[in-house]
Amino acid sequence: MRSVLFLLAMILATAALAERPDFEELVAKYEEQAIADRRWAHEHAELSMREFETQAWLRESLAAIPGVELVDGEWGTGVVAMLKGGKPGPIVAWRTDMDGLPITEETGLEFSCQRVDTLGSGRVTGVMHACGHDLHMAVALNMTRMLSDVRDEMPGTLLFIGEQAEEIGAGALTLLEAGIFEEGRRPKCVLAIHDHTSIPLGQVGSHPGPSTANVDGFVLKVKGVGGHGAYPHKSVDPVSLAAKMILGFESIVARQMDVNHHCVISVGRIEGGTKSNVIPDEVVLEATVRSLDDETREALPEKIERLVNGIAASVGAPEPELEYYMGTAAGINNPELVQECREVFRRIIGPENEYTYPAGMGGEDFAYFAREVPGFQFRLGVGRPDREMALHRSNLDIPEEAIAIGMRLAAEVVWEQMAE
Ligand SMILES: [Zn+2]
Ligand SMILES: [Zn+2]
């Protein structure tokens, strides 16, 4: 009986295998095209909300893929398209981000971006794909080409999401508010990749549960009473108060928060005063406040307010002005979906190259899609042993072999989610 069951299981497994297209062959067919796509995107990097050429290129490329239909809507500079399979099945969404960063490229690559743009502040800057969104677009586009080749057998529909303005945390909400998941487009799940320089090429990392942070922050005006630096007793020194407050923020994290509920408060900007011997009236601090869970997120503003008011009151200073804001929400990877995708990863790249990475304090507005339907963003290794690189740095030069790995993983997890 046992051997009969085993045989049956083998037959079923073989049948499932037979249904799955030869993705290795499809990757080989489109890898060269994908590298060309990545280079085009890299050379034409654009700032958030200004992805005009990138949008036109993506739209044109998608429209030329057999079976793909562009979806019109109030997407801003985003792009939405669908590829319907010949077999019935669920909608599976795949998101790629599209924007570059205000960074002047220093890679020396032949296809370096030469674009110069002006920021809202008036500062003139170079533009660069320094976060790998060029790679993400090449993966998404060519995964779509691969799936188009086998669309007659595809058991579901691919919803292609080209998200603009990820770097400023604006794209996902714009697309959701414009109804991307409405009118017969609500997906069973939403998937995405992000490249990572700390993960070696050939490896892939996942994290079930919260994996990116709530990205909040504040602007704090520390008020004092200005005067001569020689007679501090005749003033209330906001520089001294600001220093105490900065150390106080660190003590909130170290002494008031549960160590199992991670959070970070970093003051990234401090401004006040004009001259060494003049005590100013005011010092302005700007900080980022990050956490992984809602409870911690909600507890922090009150503790920060209590601290700054207490420190100001202790020397009779005017009450500080605290402007607290809630930014991008934490990204939660659906544990079940993660588990299902990890099985696919292990099969393709081997269990030794697939692992869990710790949650990080970076932000990603993919989180908003993943709050609507089960979502999972996994990390694709682009780390190179021959050079030290980081995302958001002018020297980011990803190994292009990562593109084929990304295409394979992407196509297979999308297919498996449709077939489940
Ligand atoms: Zn980025
Ligand atoms: Zn990014």
Instruction: State the sign of the Cα–Cα–Cα–Cα dihedral 160, 166, 169, 175.
Output: negative
Identify whether the C-beta of residue 169 lies closer than 8 Å to the C-beta of residue 330. no
- Three-class SS state of 239: helix
Tens of pLDDT along the chain (420 residues) come to: 556 665 555 555 544 444 899 999 999 999 999 999 999 999 999 999 999 999 999 999 999 999 999 999 999 999 999 999 999 999 999 999 999 999 999 999 999 999 999 998 899 999 999 999 999 999 999 999 999 999 999 999 999 999 999 999 999 999 999 999 999 999 999 999 999 999 999 999 999 999 999 999 999 999 999 999 999 999 999 999 999 999 999 999 999 999 999 999 999 999 999 999 999 999 999 999 999 999 999 999 999 999 999 999 999 999 999 999 999 999 999 999 999 999 999 999 999 999 999 998 999 999 999 999 999 999 999 999 988 999 999 999 999 999 999 999 999 999 999 998
* Single residue among 276, 300, 325 that ends a domain in this structure: 325
Of 61, 72, 90, nearest to 337 by C-alpha is 90
- Specify which residues 284 forms β-bridges with: 221, 271
* Single residue among 283, 310, 325 that ends a domain in this structure: 325
> What is the number of domains present in the chain?
2
Cα-to-centroid distance, 131 and ligand 1 (Å) = 5
Residues 173 and 49 in one domain: yes
Cα-to-centroid distance, 198 and ligand 2 (Å) = 14
Residue 37 lies in a domain: yes
Within 10 Å of residue 226's Cβ, how many Cβ atoms? 16
Residue ranges with CB less than 5 Å from ion ligand 1:
131
Residue 4 lies in a domain: no
Residues 266 and 376 in one domain: no
Q: Which domain holds residue 181?
A: 19-212+330-419
Residues 279 and 338 in one domain: no
We report the CATH number of the domain holding residue 258 as 3.30.70.360
Cα-to-centroid distance, 250 and ligand 1 (Å) = 26
Cα-to-centroid distance, 123 and ligand 1 (Å) = 20
Residues 218 and 188 in one domain: no
* Single residue among 325, 356, 376 that ends a domain in this structure: 325
Cα-to-centroid distance, 108 and ligand 1 (Å) = 21
Cα-to-centroid distance, 19 and ligand 1 (Å) = 37
Cα-to-centroid distance, 224 and ligand 1 (Å) = 38
| Token pair of 343 as six digits | 């099985």
Of 179, 152, 149, nearest to 161 by C-alpha is 179
**pTM for the structure as a whole:** 0.89
Cα-to-centroid distance, 1 and ligand 2 (Å) = 53
Residue 8 lies in a domain: no
Cα-to-centroid distance, 403 and ligand 1 (Å) = 18
Cα-to-centroid distance, 404 and ligand 1 (Å) = 21
Per-residue CA distances from 342 to 9, 288, 348 (Å): 21, 33, 10
DSSP secondary structure, 280-301, as one string: -SEEEEEEEEEESSHHHHHHHH
